[in-house]
Structure 1
Amino acid sequence: MNPAFEVNFDGLIGPSHNYGGLSDGNLASARNAGDVSNPREAAVQGLEKMRTLVRAGLVQGVLPPLARPNFDLLAAAGFLGADAQIIEAAARTAPRLLKAAYSASSMWTANAATVSPSADTSDGRLHLTAANLSTMLHRSIEHPDTTATLISIFAGEDHFAVHGALPAHGDFADEGAANHVRLCNEQGAPGVELFVYGRDDGESTAGFPARQTRLASESVARSHELDLVRVVFARQARRAIEAGAFHNDVVCVGALDTLFFHEFAFEDTAGTLDALRRSAQGLFDLKPVMVPDAEVPLADAISSYLFNSQLLQLPGEDRLVLFAPGETQDTASTRAYCERLVTRNGPIGRVEYVDVRQSMRNGGGPACLRLRVVMTEDQLASCHSGVLLDEERIDELQACVRATYRDRLSPADLADPAFADECRIAREALLGILELDALT
Structure 2
Amino acid sequence: MKSYEVNFDGLVGPTHNYGGLSYGNVASQSNSQQSSNPKEAALQGLAKMKALMEMGFQQGVLAPQERPDVAALRRLGFSGSDAQVIERAAKDAMPLLVASCSASSMWVANAATVSPSADTADGRVHFTAANLNCKYHRSIEHPTTSRVLGAMFADQKHFAHHAALPAVAQFGDEGAANHTRFCRDYGQAGVEFFVFGRSAFDTRYPAPQKYPARQTLEASQAVARLHGLSEDGVVYAQQNPSVIDQGVFHNDVIAVGNGEVLFYHEDAFLETDKMLAELQAKLGKRGGNFQSICVPRSQVTVEDAVRSYLFNSQLLSRADGSMLLIVPEECRGNERVWQYLQGLTSSGGLIREVKVFDLKQSMQNGGGPACLRLRVALNQTELAAVNPGVIMTAPLYDTLTQWVDKHYRDRLSENDLADPQLLLECRTALDELTQILKLGAVYPFQIN
CA–CA separation in structure 1 for the residues paired with 2:87 and 2:377: 44
Which of 279, 291, 303 lines up with 2:282 in the alignment? 279
Q: Does the 8 Å contact 2:208/2:241 carry over to 1?
A: no
Write out aligned runs for 1:9-408 (5 A).
Answer: 9-202=8-201, 205-282=208-285, 283-315=287-319, 317-408=320-411
Of 194-203 and 115-124, deviating more is: 194-203
Partner of 1:7: 6
Q: Separation in 2 of the partners of 1:354 and 1:205?
A: 32
Rounded to whole Å, the distance in 2 between the matches of 1:409 and 1:260 is: 36
Q: Distance in 2 between matches of 1:318 and 1:344?
A: 16
Aligned residues of 1:73 and 1:101 also touching (Cα < 8 A): yes
Q: Is the 8 A contact 1:428 1:437 kept in 2?
A: no
- Once the two structures are TM-superposed, the CA of residue 269 in structure 1 deviates from its matched residue by 1.1
Amino acid in structure 2 at the alignment position of 1:17 = H
Shift of 1:410: 0.6
* 1: CA distance, partners of 2:158 / 2:231: 22
Q: Distance in 1 between matches of 2:273 and 2:234?
A: 17
Deviation of 1:205 after TM superposition, in Å, equals 4.8
- Looking at structure 1, the residues matched to 232 and 174 of structure 2 have their Cα atoms a distance apart, in angstroms, of 23
SS of the equivalent of 1:211 reads: coil
CA contact (8 A) 2:151 2:440 kept: no
Unaligned stretches of 5+ residues in structure 1: none
What code does the residue aligned with 1:361 have?
Q
CA distance in 2, matches of 1:168, 1:321: 37
**What displacement does 1:51 show?**
0.2
- Aligned to 1:279, the other structure's residue is in SS state helix
For residue 428 of structure 1, report the CA deviation from its aligned partner.
1.5
CA RMSD of superposed structures (Å): 1.0
Letter of the 2:298 partner, please give it.
A
Q: CA deviation at 1:248?
A: 0.2
Contact 1:251 1:307 in 2 (8 A): yes
- Counterpart code for 1:420: L
Runs of 4+ in 1 over 6 A off after TM superposition: none
2-structure distance, mates of 1:51, 1:288: 29
The superposition leaves residues 147-180 of structure 1 with CA deviations (integer Å, 9 ceiling, x where unpaired) of 1111111111110001110000100000000000
Q: Is the 8 A contact 2:165 2:171 kept in 1?
A: yes
Instruction: Give the counterpart letter for 1:313 in structure 2.
Output: S
Residue identity in the other structure for 1:346:
G
Amino acid at match of 2:24: G
Where in structure 2 are there 5+ consecutive unaligned residues? Answer: none
- Give yes or no for contact 1:287–1:347 (8 Å, CA) kept in 2: no
My pick for the range that moved more, 301-310 or 276-285, is: 276-285
Shift of 1:77: 0.6
The answer (yes or no) to whether the contact 1:90–1:97 under 8 Å persists in 2 is yes
Secondary structure in structure 2 of the residue aligned to 1:438: coil
| Offset, 1:345 | 2.8
| Equivalent position SS for 1:166 | coil
**Deviation of the 1:146 alpha carbon:** 0.4
- CA drift of 1:76 comes to 0.8
- For residue 33 of structure 2, what is the amino acid of its counterpart? G
Any idea what the Cα deviations from partners look like across 1:297-341, whole Å, max 9, x if unmatched?
Answer: 1100111000000000123x4310000001011110110000000
Aligned with 2:389: secondary structure? helix
Q: Give, in whole Å, the separation in 1 of the partners of 2:298 and 2:56.
A: 37
Q: Which whole-Å CA distance do the structure 1 matches of 2:2 and 2:160 have between them? A: 20
- Tell me the secondary structure at the aligned position of residue 181 of structure 1: strand
CA contact (8 A) 2:53 2:59 kept: yes
Under a length normalisation based on structure 1, what TM-score does the superposition of the two structures give?
A: 0.98
Q: Distance in 2 between matches of 1:263 and 1:274?
A: 15
Distance 1:121 1:345 in 2: 36
SS at match of 2:165: coil
Deviation at 1:284, TM superposition (A): 1.1
Q: 1:124 is aligned with what amino acid?
A: G
TM-score if structure 2 supplies the norm length? 0.96
Deviation readout 1:167-200 (Å, 9 max, x if unpaired): 0010000000000010111111111110000000
2 CA distance for matches of 1:345 and 1:65? 40
* Distance in 2 separating the partners of 1:3 and 1:391: 23
Distance 1:189 1:29 in 2: 38
Measured in 2, the distance between the counterparts of 1:321 and 1:351 equals 6
The CA deviation string for residues 363-403 of structure 1, in whole angstroms up to 9 with x for no partner, is 00000000000011111111111000101101100111011
How far apart are residue 206 of structure 1 and its match? Answer: 2.9
Determine if contact 1:342/1:348 at 8 Å carries over to the other structure.
yes
State whether structure 2 residue 421 is matched by structure 1 residue 418.
Answer: yes
Q: Return the alpha-carbon distance in structure 1 between the equivalents of residues 135 and 230 of structure 2.
A: 31
Task: Quote the sequence identity (%).
Answer: 50
SS of aligned partner of 2:399: helix
**Aligned to 1:162, what secondary structure does the other structure show?**
strand
The aligned amino acid for 1:290 is C
Matched to 1:44, the amino acid is L
What letter corresponds to residue 343 of structure 2 in structure 1?
A: R
SS at structure 1 position matched to 2:114: strand
Whichever residue aligns with residue 310 of structure 2, its letter is L
Aligned length: 438
Confirm or deny: 8 A CA contact 2:208 2:242 kept in the other structure: no
Cα deviation, 1:106-133, whole Å, max 9, x if unaligned, reads 0000000000000111111000100000
- SS for the counterpart of 1:351 is strand
Paired amino acid for 1:238:
P
Alignment match, 1:437:
440
> SS in structure 1 opposite 2:223?
helix
Q: Which amino acid aligns with 2:294?
A: M
